[in-house]
Chains A and B, each alone.
Chain A
Amino acid sequence: MADVISLRGIHRTYVMGDQELHALDGVDLTIGSNEYVAIIGPSGSGKSTLMNLIGCLDKPTRGSYHLDGLDVGNMNDSELANVRNRKIGFIFQSFNLLPRASALRNVMQPLVYRGVPAGERKERAAEALGHVGLGDRMGHLPNQLSGGQRQRVAVARALVGDPAILLADEPTGNLDSQTTREILGLFDELYADGQTIIMVTHEPEIADHCARVVRMIDGRIADDVRQERKGAA
């Protein structure tokens, strides 16, 4: 199994006034292709910081980060934007869809920054929306969709660029239990298709769903266990 993510001695330090805050304090983590990983931990444990680093939204203060063979730790902003665009599919708790754009346009957006021509963009976006079961809702604006549907649009948007990892930040935090099951079911399918999924959550039931659970405490990995998946279809 090739390593998709390789973090070595990662530190992330924030300076607040004259105080240094070590959000990440020496993290080593390797995630292989087609893994299904949950990152859990209490608030303030550094899991969001780790998530931002993995997602190339932030840079480590110290340490090396390789993503899909690329030395991401030493890239500039513009190169990082490129990596986000090509390697990472984001899914957020609050969906983060573009409010004035239709579902289709939302899904098309990442392809804009990749220079895909409009016709092909539309085709691929429509295909991705069909994949998540929203083929008949392409023209709807986000506020015309239910929470579960919005998150499906977000999943389609994350997948349309065929990313190396799917990075989900509390993807079911704003959803009821029925919709949560639906979205997790969707994730299970993607996992079965070979997608690498990393999910940040604070809900143990959601973490139980994953094949591997990384628990963070005080900016460090407290334990990292592979487990039998529960509740999977």
Chain B
Amino acid sequence: MFMFLEAVSAALSAIRAHSFRSFLTALGIIIGVASVIAVVSIVQGLSYTVNAQFQGLGSNSLTVRSFTPFRAALQGRLAKLTEDDLHVIEHRIDGISHITPILFDPQGRASQVGYRAQSTFTQVFGVGASWIDVQGLYPQSGRYFSRSDDDSRRMVCLVGVDVVENLELPDPPEGQFIRLGSEWCRVVGVMEERGDLLGFSQDDYVLMPYPSMQRFIGGAQEYDIRIQMLVDDITRLDEVKERIRRVLRQEHGLTAGQADDFRVQTPEQLASGFNAIIGTITAVSGGIVGISLLVGGIGIMNIMLVSVTERTREIGILKALGAKRGDILLQFLIEAILICMLGGILGIAIGFGIGALVSAILPGFPPAHVPLWAVSLSFGFCMAVGVVFGIIPAAKAANLDPIDSLRYE
């Protein structure tokens, strides 16, 4: 321990004596670590926010939607979830507190809406009375749909704050009529703001009562719906999920060999696709950083070898004064490791700065988030680079012959 501390102090004074050179030596490491921390902090910031959004859906929520296998799609047999499925789930499965159908416009995701001279495209969908409870999202002004809206398939709607803005609706917008295709629809409320996600607004939509939406898109045909629900007891989530699966298989008349033509998903599963992408980006950036740390390490080895040659005489003196092979080895090895560690610390700081800057400058980007594992991993990697690439120069220094090195000019 004593020799270790002495070696640290000797290494520090050597680094200080050549501070600019040490900085240049560590530059490869600094850049490598800074880039990984910047990329990871931005990507993790995204992931953090997105996951928070999915969690906002309620971790005890379930989403059922139709699923058409690729083969069946080619044959034109599209799977469908219907209102019957909704009723079956509602009546035969207990442990569900809220359940709502969601009906999108089957023609396309965006519909044209207008108010006076303004018009814009937005997403229109029909939802049941429980939608606000399932989503945990409530009107910020006005009212939600009433039973009588449902019963009489009244053309009323709730709008997101972006729609209010885009259509330049007067304040308050309640009571105004907006054009929905060829129909008129009365605004009864404005939904609370959700903010941006990945630069996309989450407040650009129009909600209608489910029956009204059916009427709007033409009631003759049965459309594919999505069903969303909240489960009372989160510990029973998997059990409920399995029962829904069984009931729907029965309802759809699927035999034992046939695959499900629907999917029951938890928010985690919805998030998992996104997380897979995040994971890939992180892994790729990790690989790039691995390469740049390798290059940085070779740079360090190069400079350390030069430094050993340059300090040959000094090493000879130390040996004459009684330094053992191990003392010299330790001193030079620790010098390499310290350079890498200081480079790593600097890199982490710079990377964090870049990440914070990027997410601050780019609109709609969530704040950077540096996970502890990225910091400790890059730091550990730096030390490993120091050990791996410091050992050869250090061994060279330790094995110098004292007589020759004392004579070295």
Q: Quick check: B314 and A113 within 8 Å, CB to CB?
A: no
Q: A57-B402, A115-B2 are in contact. Are A96 and B317 (CB under 8 A)?
A: yes
Q: Which residue of A lies closest to B327 (CB)?
A: A113
With known contacts A52-B403, A112-B6, A77–B325 Cβ distance under 8 A: yes
Contact call A78/B321, Cβ cutoff below 8 A: no
A113 near B324 with CB under 8 A, answer: yes
Closest 10 CB pairs of A and B: A85-B322, A113-B322, A81-B324, A110-B321, A100-B17, A57-B402, A84-B322, A96-B317, A78-B324, A90-B320
Residues from chain B with a CB closer than 8 A to the CB of A226 are none
A-chain residues with CB within 8 Å of residue B357 when the two chains form the complex: none
- A residues touching B (Cβ–Cβ < 8 Å)? 52, 55, 57-58, 77-78, 81-82, 84-86, 90, 92, 96-101, 109-110, 112-115, 117, 157, 161
B320 touches A96 (CB 8 A): yes
Q: Can you pick out 8 interface pairs between chain A and chain B where the beta carbons lie within 8 Å of each other?
A: A55-B320, A81-B324, A81-B325, A86-B322, A92-B406, A101-B13, A117-B2, A157-B321
Asked whether any CB of chain A lies closer than 8 Å to the CB of B14, the reply is yes
Assess whether B318 is interfacial by the CB under 8 Å rule: yes
Q: Which listed residue (B313, B320, B326) contacts A84, Cβ 8 A?
A: B320
Number of A-B contacts (CB under 8 A): 60
Excluding A57-B403, A81-B319, A113-B324, 11 further A-B contacts by CB distance (< 8 Å) are: A52-B403, A55-B320, A57-B320, A58-B403, A78-B324, A81-B322, A84-B322, A92-B406, A100-B17, A110-B322, A113-B327
State how many angstroms separate the Cβ of A16 from the closest Cβ of chain B. 14
B323 lies within 8 A of chain A by Cβ: yes
On whether the beta carbons of A100 and B14 are closer than 8 Å, the reply is: yes
Contacts A98-B314, A109-B318; A77 near B324 (Cβ below 8 A): yes
Contacts of A77 in B (CB 8 A): 324-325
Q: Which of B6, B313, B314, B321 contacts A85 (CB 8 A)?
A: B321
**Which residues from chain A contact B14 at a C-beta distance below 8 Å?**
100
Nearest Cβ on chain B to A120's Cβ, whole angstroms: 12
A52→B13 CA distance, assembly (Å):
30
* Closest CB in chain A relative to B1 CB, distance in Å: 10
- For chain B, residues 1 to 35, give those with C-beta under 8 angstroms from any C-beta of chain A: 2-3, 6, 13-14, 17
Q: Mark B293-325, 1 if CB is under 8 A from A, else 0.
A: 000000000000000000001101111111111
Chain A proximity of B308: nearest CB distance (Å) = 15
Minimum Cβ distance to chain B for residue A151 (Å): 14
Q: Judging by beta carbons under 8 Å apart, are A114 and B406 in contact? A: no
Contacts of B6 in A (CB 8 A): 112
A115 CB contacts on chain B under 8 angstroms: 2-3
What does the 1/0 interface line of B22-59 toward A look like (CB < 8 Å)? 00000000000000000000000000000000000000
Contacts of B402 in A (CB 8 A): 57
The CA of A98 and the CA of B17, in the complex, are separated in Å by 12
Q: In the complex, are the beta carbons of A82 and B320 less than 8 A apart?
A: no
Which residue on chain B has the smallest CB distance to residue A92?
Answer: B406
Closest to A114 in B: B322
CA distance in complex: A67, B13 (Å) = 35
> A82: which B residues are within 8 A, CB to CB?
322, 324
Verify B325–A78 contact, CB threshold 8 A: yes
* CB closest residue in chain A, given B409: A94
B7 closest partner in A (C-beta): A112
- A110 and B314 CA atoms in complex are apart in Å by 13
Report how far A161 CA is from B318 CA in the complex, Å: 14
